[in-house]
Amino acid sequence: AQSVAQPEDQVNVAEGNPLTVKCTYSVSGNPYLFWYVQYPNRGLQFLLKYITGDNLVKGSYGFEAEFNKSQTSFHLKKPSALVSDSALYFCAVRDVNQGGKLIFGQGTELSVKP
Amino acid sequence: DVKVTQSSRYLVKRTGEKVFLECVQDMDHENMFWYRQDPGLGLRLIYFSYDVKMKEKGDIPEGYSVSREKKERFSLILESASTNQTSMYLCASSLAGQGVYNEQFFGPGTRLTVL
């Protein structure tokens, strides 16, 4: 079965420190992976995606994600966290059976303290 | 920029009422989706549509129906609202076709409270 797991419900980081939000996936074939961010009382905003090619993908707002095929992971990273990065982050993978669909993780709440 | 709009940001309804949630996208996307979002459960797909007048059940379709009479508009209908349908509802759209990698664009959400 296809699935996405975000093992941490919450991540706490001090401003200026690097941050990592973890995501692992299970899918047959080539995975197409996405990260979204949701600010309070808002819809989801697209951050970045991995389709093929370079394992390090750069996205919006200084975020990047590293695709690791052997570990089936797609962790979201940022070298220096900002208080304004505090939000809910979702990882998603394309459904290989129904190409239009995305399968979302449960979400990780990121809190960046000054 | 793709814009997905939803008819209401906040909605309060009574148990048993029929509720319509409207979603409109302006980028000629073929695919449209309705999700509900609940704390600790992430996003759960209710229904989706690949084309006008087409619909497919998602993971939690019970108690909901949808309508897609025009390409840009996708409506979610709660036939008889119940308190367990109190939730945040998110609409999304995406392009379809070979070589297109299904990035979805989301509306701002409708927070529905059923009393």
Q: Is A42–B94 a contact, with Cβ atoms under 8 angstroms apart?
A: no
Q: Which residues does B86 contact at the CB level (< 8 Å), separation at least 6?
A: B112, B113, B114
pLDDT at position B63 is 96
Percentage of residues in chain A having pLDDT higher than 70: 99
- Cβ pairs bridging A and B (under 8 Å): 56
A32 contacts on B by Cβ (under 8 Å):
101-102
Find out whether B13 and B64 touch, Cβ atoms under 8 Å: no
pLDDT at position A96 is 73
For an interface test with A, the pick among B56, B101, B111, B112 (most A C-beta atoms closer than 10 Å) comes out as: B101
Find residue B73's DSSP bridge partners.
B24, B70
Instruction: Give the residue ranges of chain A where pLDDT is below 50.
Output: none
pLDDT at position A99 is 64
Of chain A, the end-to-end C-alpha distance in Å amounts to: 41
Distance CA A13, CA A80 (A): 10
Rounded mean pLDDT of B35-47? 92
Burial bucket for residue B22 (CB in 10 Å: 0-12, 13-18, 19+):
middle
